[in-house]
Amino acid sequence: MPLSSSAFSTGRLLFVQILSLTFCFAGPSAFGAETLPEPAKNLRHLQALRAGVVFQELGWTLNEDFVPRPVRAMLTRLKHDMRERIVAAMGQDADAEADPGSIEAAIARRFERDGLNPHRGDDYLRFARRFLVRAAEAPGHPELRVVTLAIGIPLGDDTSLYIFERRPSGWELVLSSEVNGYPSVMKAQSHFRYKFSPFAGDGSWFVVTASVNNRAASAWQGVTYTAQMAGDDPYHPRVLVREEHTICLIGFDDEGDAFELVPSARGFRISFPHAFAGQGIMAWAVYSYDIEDGRVRRSSRECHLNRARGRRIRCP
């Protein structure tokens, strides 16, 4: 049941007070008696929280998708602690070939050394009890390596993308794609996919990403897609396109399979099931973008019966 704005504001204040008391007075039984590095302490605090149960003593429960301000800060801090160790592993531990398996092993060693370990308990509606690092080569770009970090959050996960380029000094981070500070888990990058464009005539490239918001039940959700190029520094990529639309997930076991990304040297196309076109027929929306010299032009939306390959129909 939705809360009134006054009750919501009061609830947030009470949550912060309860959270502060938990952190200030929790003893060794809650977070472990051993002395931990600060990143590990922050992770333990996050892992001790559970969404949707803080107010049970008061007779009502906070919405499960809400992320209070203190927790937003802790999630961002954890992500950056992990990013720091990923960058260090790539810069100091990875050789020139940097195969994905050796990259993942190097990152795992740094996580373990600093106490950044998964939690063995139940992860339902929990924060950061599970996390997964995956490294990969970038098709068509032998000079690049990709690392994704997926952190478990209530109702789903939060995935970040880190792109490294081989330089004379070693592997350097050139693009970091994160979403931080979200008030709802629905805004995290989840069911995440990415694809690289081929090189353009001037030697530039971009990466296009897409994600479907975390969900509890409904098949109608949001898909967010972004095209980015490396910016003046790796933490502020140049965003060329960022759009959000409604997507229908009926018939898909994996939300990441419900959309299709097709990049080219001069743009990209995304298609996804968008709306019913009558008699149970699903219309796929197709959005196409031309990218040249850092400038973007979007073509008119099209609708098809089967991704971008099916018969074109009038958009409902």
Q: What is the pLDDT at residue 189? A: 96
Average pLDDT of the chain is 86
Q: What is the pLDDT at residue 53? A: 58
231-264, pLDDT tens digit by residue? Answer: 999 999 999 999 999 999 998 989 999 999 999 9
The most distant pair of C-alpha atoms in the chain lies apart, rounded to whole Å, by: 64
With left for phi above 0 and alpha for psi between -120 and 50, is residue 257 left, alpha or beta? alpha
Domain ranges of the chain: 1-188, 191-316
Q: What is the pLDDT at residue 56? A: 47
d(CA 269, CA 289): 6
Residue 209 token pair: 């990403």
Q: What is the pLDDT at residue 60? A: 41
Smallest CA-to-CA distance from 261 within 287, 228, 231, 234 is with: 287
The contacts of residue 2 (CB under 8 Å, 6+ apart) are none
* E strand map for the chain: 131-138, 141-153, 156-167, 170-177, 193-196, 207-212, 220-229, 238-248, 260-264, 267-276, 282-292, 295-298, 302-304, 312-313
Residue 106 token pair: 């190097």
**183, 196 contact by CB (below 8 A):** no
Per-residue pLDDT for the chain (316 aa), expressed as one digit of tens each? 333 333 333 333 333 333 433 433 343 344 444 688 999 999 999 999 888 654 444 444 446 688 888 999 999 999 999 999 999 999 999 999 999 999 999 999 999 999 999 999 999 889 999 999 999 999 999 999 999 999 999 989 999 999 999 999 999 999 999 999 999 999 999 999 999 999 999 999 999 999 999 876 789 999 999 999 999 999 999 999 999 999 999 989 899 999 999 999 999 999 999 998 877 789 999 999 999 988 999 998 999 987 777 889 988 8
Q: What is the pLDDT at residue 63? A: 63
**Length, in residues, of the chain:** 316
Q: What is the pLDDT at residue 12? A: 39
